[in-house]
Amino acid sequence: RYDNDAIYTTIGDIVLSINPFKRLPLYEDATMAQYDASPDNKFFEDVLPPHLYTIGKRAFVDMTRHNRDQAILISGESGAGKTEATKIIMSYLANMSNGGNSSAQNSIETQVLQTNPVLEAFGNARTVRNDNSSRFGKFIEGMH
C-alpha cells in the first residue's frame, strides 16, 4: 500500500496514516468535493477510500445531524505528520461548515491556519527527523 501511495487505512473508527515524506495528490478540491458529496451515513466509507477526510466527515455528520460533541485525537511519533494532518482536517471541517462555499471556507480556514506560524515561532525546533518539529502539544477547540 505504501509503495502505491495509499497512506491511509482504517481500523474501525480509526484512520491510520503513514507519512509519505512527499507531496501526494490527495488533497485537491476535487477530492474534498467527493467526500462532501458522499451520503451522510456510514456507507460513504464503503465507497470512498480511507482518508483524513473520512474522520472529518464522520465527525461533522455526528455533530450536526446527531447533535453529538466530537473529539479528534491526532497522535504519533516525531515526524509522523501530526501537524499536517491537523491542518488537513481543519481545512476539511471549515469547508463542511460553510457548505462548500469556497470564499467563506477560505476565510475561516485562513484565519485558523494563520495561527500556526505564530505558535511554531515559539514552539518549534529543528530535529534529526524534521526541520520544523513541533515541541509542544496543541489543543484546538472549535465551536459550531
79 is in an annotated binding site: yes
33 is in an annotated binding site: no
3-class secondary-structure state, position 144: coil
81 is in an annotated binding site: yes
77 is in an annotated binding site: yes
99 is in an annotated binding site: no
- Residue numbers in the known binding site are 76-83
Binding-site residues for ATP:
76-83
